[in-house]
């Protein structure tokens, strides 16, 4: 194929638009060499404040190549599909290790928060029949609810297999074909990809590589940005026609206008039908898609984005299979940058002194590009965090672990002295009580279930107090669940300074700096529910009239819904408001009591930007929607309370409002 301008129909589309800076396209991939002459000045801007450092290698080559197919300027060495759109890059693929689905989910959420209309993910992970990890499924679902289109590679394993996130509901999966529209042998064609995917050119695509060089590359990773770029251009056409951008509708339109595989009617028909499986829904047809957009006064999404009442959330889970494929021997499990892609160096851009041709190393399979050393974000750009989870600790290295083992006192077991075990939290707590300063060398972690998502770093004058409180929480997590002091959740308020910590298992997690004890709470569901009961709820409201549901159980259900159904990283304004609603559950006690007193049950919890707010505020409305389980015709009841998340510690403002909803 060579240049993307040779793709049928693209040159004619460029006559209508080469992009619009009101439409944002995000590349969730490896580090991008933004100094490459292929890119317009200032593109892509990079969201790099929470990602680990990494040497510029195969993952950076992958990220630069993918970004150049999207954003390469038309007067430069590599022509991109949509150079005039706003471009952002979220580096998530890291050299010498595979990216976890949790990290990929975090990157997708960051891209959406940065205003992306379309997110390109040229990678993923093979999946058995089943679901992707919950955190990735929810990140994709949230994008769908916000109208953000994710375009993801089907994978380069050449098998009848699925690849997440490409096969998650609402994602546009992309396989690769040659110039004649024949599927490449390496392109995956599992049932999920066939249901919601299409083919696009992916053979010998001209790309930029770090250092100013140029190469050709083959694989689904290159077909994906071609489709994402075309989707962006069609969304720009929607704007040009005076319509509202609807990337999800564009994604559906691309599937509908794809040229289907048409088997013959001869004796080889069955073989030809089997071969058509590799064509997914068909092959990208830009001309038909442009005609569909330009001849339509408006384009609406074929499927309404799933909201709290949408049937998407009921019944069976979305189609995402869980990660079940084993990585190569000795490699850690996780996502990769799609196997089978290869670079072929061609020429370097012209310059007064000819630049050397850069030949990057081959790209390994999967979703794994990396980042350079993150730049320190200025205080004004620091991101706030209010996250919920469980507390843990890590050593980071064998040397640090062994230093604790040597310093901790021996333990008496059946009259014998045995070496201390630094992994035993009871022994660690006892040691920290005697030596409080030793809390500083530990890497304190906040975990979702058993997965660390942040490293907690106390700073400032209150640092010793924060360490003391963390030690206290760790000790209380070890108590029996019926103990009044038992803790199974903690809240962590802080800022992201743009640094990461490397854990013992090689995982990098963003550092959260905590400089105050205010908002640093620990509790259990049962104790917090009882605390709500002890706040003076009228006796006649402590039990539902019709169903006898104790208010304490309703509060516990409310908290569990946030912890499990709505768990998050606590880094977006929306999530900080939701998490604070859980911490400040007393705020909702009268709401729950009133609704239950009328025989209603909690249906869902929603968060949306508040239309009202104080000057220089960031206010969000947390809405609790209740329904009558015995009378579907009865109006629902909505209760809303507003939370301002402008500061490190969110705060509730105003009174709880309530209204009926048909």
Which residues fall within 8 angstroms of residue 367, CB to CB, at 6 or more apart? 92, 93, 98, 99, 104, 121, 122, 123, 124, 125, 334, 335, 336, 337, 338
The number of C-alpha atoms within 13 Å of 76 and in the hemisphere containing its C-beta is 23
- 321-166-139 Cα angle (round to 5): 80
Average pLDDT over residues 397-423: 91
Q: Active-site residues: which are they?
A: 29, 62, 221
Residues 600, 557 contacting (CB under 8 angstroms): no
Q: Using 50, 70 and 90 to split pLDDT, how confident is the model at 36?
A: very high
Average pLDDT over residues 537-549: 51
Which residue shows structure tokens 């390109």?
Answer: 120
Of all residues in the chain, what percent carry a pLDDT higher than 70? Answer: 80
Could you tell me which residue, 301 or 146, shows the higher pLDDT? 146
Phi, psi (degrees; rounded to nearest 5) at 46? -110, 135
136, pLDDT greater than 60: yes
How does pLDDT run across 328-374, given as a tens digit for each residue?
A: 333 335 666 655 565 554 433 333 323 333 333 333 333 333 233 33
| pLDDT recorded at residue 345 | 45
Lowest mean pLDDT segment, chosen from 132-146, 199-213, 296-310: 296-310
Average pLDDT over residues 55-71: 89
Of all residues in the chain, what percent carry a pLDDT higher than 90? Answer: 50
Sign of the dihedral through C-alpha 355, 361, 362, 366? negative
CB atoms within 10 A of CB 633: 6
How does pLDDT run across 148-193, given as a tens digit for each residue?
A: 999 999 999 999 998 899 999 999 999 999 999 999 999 999 998 9
The gap from C-alpha 481 to its chain's centroid, in whole angstroms, comes to 32
The number of C-alpha atoms within 13 Å of 45 and in the hemisphere containing its C-beta is 11
Lowest mean pLDDT segment, chosen from 167-176, 202-211, 389-398, 585-594: 585-594
379, pLDDT greater than 80: no
With 0-12 / 13-18 / 19 or more C-beta atoms within 10 angstroms meaning exposed / middle / buried, residue 411 is middle
Residues 492, 458 contacting (CB under 8 angstroms): no
94, pLDDT greater than 80: no
0.85 cut: is pTM over it?
A: no
| pLDDT recorded at residue 545 | 44
Residue-level length of the chain: 662
Q: Which of 86, 80, 85 is nearest to 3 (CA)?
A: 80
Residues 595, 405 contacting (CB under 8 angstroms): no
> What mean pLDDT value characterizes the chain?
81
Q: Which domains does the chain have, with CATH numbers?
A: 4-345 (3.40.50.200), 379-514 (no CATH), 524-661 (no CATH)
- Rounded distance, CA 101 to CA 105, Å? 6
Average pLDDT over residues 589-598: 76
| pLDDT recorded at residue 213 | 92
Q: Which of 367, 317, 339 is nearest to 164 (CA)?
A: 367
């Amino acid at each position: 194929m060579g240049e993307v301008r040779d793709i049928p129909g693209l040159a004619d589309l460029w006559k209508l638009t080469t992009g619009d800076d009101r439409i944002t396209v995000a590349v969730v991939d490896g580090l991008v060499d933004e100094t490459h002459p292929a890119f317009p000045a200032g593109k892509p801007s990079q969201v790099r404040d929470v990602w680990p450092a990494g040497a510029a290698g195969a993952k950076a080559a992958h990220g630069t190549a993918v970004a150049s197919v999207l954003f390469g300027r038309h007067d430069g060495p590599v022509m991109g599909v949509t150079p005039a759109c706003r471009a952002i890059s979220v580096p998530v693929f890291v050299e010498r290790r595979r990216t976890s689905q949790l990290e990929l989910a975090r990157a997708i959420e960051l891209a959406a928060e940065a205003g992306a209309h379309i997110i390109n993910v040229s990678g993923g992970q093979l999946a058995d029949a089943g679901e992707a990890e919950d955190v990735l499924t929810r990140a994709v679902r949230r994008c769908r609810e916000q109208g953000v289109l994710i375009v993801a590679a089907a994978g380069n394993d050449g098998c009848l297999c699925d690849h997440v996130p490409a096969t998650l509901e609402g994602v546009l999966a992309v396989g690769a074909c040659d110039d004649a529209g024949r599927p490449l042998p390496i392109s995956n064609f599992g049932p999920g990809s066939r249901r919601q995917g299409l083919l696009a050119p992916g053979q010998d695509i001209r790309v930029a590589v770090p250092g100013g060089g140029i190469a050709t590359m083959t694989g689904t990773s290159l077909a994906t940005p071609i489709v994402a770029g075309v989707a962006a251009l069609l969304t720009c056409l929607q704007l040009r026609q005076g319509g509202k951008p609807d990337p999800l509708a564009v994604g559906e339109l691309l599937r509908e206008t794809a040229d289907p595989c048409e088997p013959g009617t001869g004796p080889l028909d069955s073989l030809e039908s089997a071969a058509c499986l590799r064509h997914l829904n068909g092959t990208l047809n830009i001309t038909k898609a442009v005609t569909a957009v330009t001849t339509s006064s408006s384009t609406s999404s074929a499927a309404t984005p799933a909201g709290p009442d949408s049937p998407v959330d009921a019944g069976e889970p979305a189609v995402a299979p869980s990660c079940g494929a084993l990585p190569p021997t000795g490699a850690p499990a996780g996502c990769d940058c799609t196997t089978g892609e290869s670079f072929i160096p061609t020429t370097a851009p012209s310059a007064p002194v000819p630049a050397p041709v850069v030949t990057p190393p081959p790209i390994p399979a999967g979703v794994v590009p990396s980042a350079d050393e993150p730049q320190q974000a200025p205080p004004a750009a620091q991101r706030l965090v209010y996250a919920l989870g469980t507390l843990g600790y890590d050593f980071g290295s064998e040397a640090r672990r062994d230093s604790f083992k040597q310093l901790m006192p021996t333990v008496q077991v059946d009259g014998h002295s045995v070496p201390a075990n630094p992994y035993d939290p009871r022994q660690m707590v006892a040691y920290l009580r005697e030596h409080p300063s030793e809390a500083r060398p530990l890497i304190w972690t906040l975990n979702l279930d058993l997965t660390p998502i942040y490293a907690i770093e106390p700073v400032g004058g209150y640092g010793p107090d924060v360490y003391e409180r963390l030690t206290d929480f760790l000790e209380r997590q070890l108590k029996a669940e019926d103990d009044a002091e038992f803790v199974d959740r903690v809240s962590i308020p802080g800022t992201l300074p743009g640094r990461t910590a490397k854990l013992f298992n090689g995982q990098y997690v963003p550092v959260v700096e905590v400089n105050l004890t205010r908002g640093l709470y620990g509790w259990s569901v049962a104790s917090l529910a009882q605390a709500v009961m002890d706040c003076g709820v009228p006796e006649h409201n402590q039990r539902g009239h019709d169903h006898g549901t104790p208010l304490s159980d309703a509060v516990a259900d409310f908290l569990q819904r946030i912890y499990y159904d709505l768990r998050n990283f606590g880094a977006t304004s929306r999530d900080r408001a939701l998490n604070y609603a859980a911490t400040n559950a007393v705020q909702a006690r009268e709401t729950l009591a009133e609704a239950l007193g009328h025989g209603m049950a909690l249906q869902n919890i929603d968060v949306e930007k508040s239309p009202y707010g104080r000057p220089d505020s960031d206010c969000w409305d947390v809405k609790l929607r209740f329904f009558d389980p015995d009378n579907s015709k009865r109006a629902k009841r909505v209760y809303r309370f507003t939370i301002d998340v402008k500061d490190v510690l969110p705060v509730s403002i105003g009174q709880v409002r309530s209204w009926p909803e048909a």
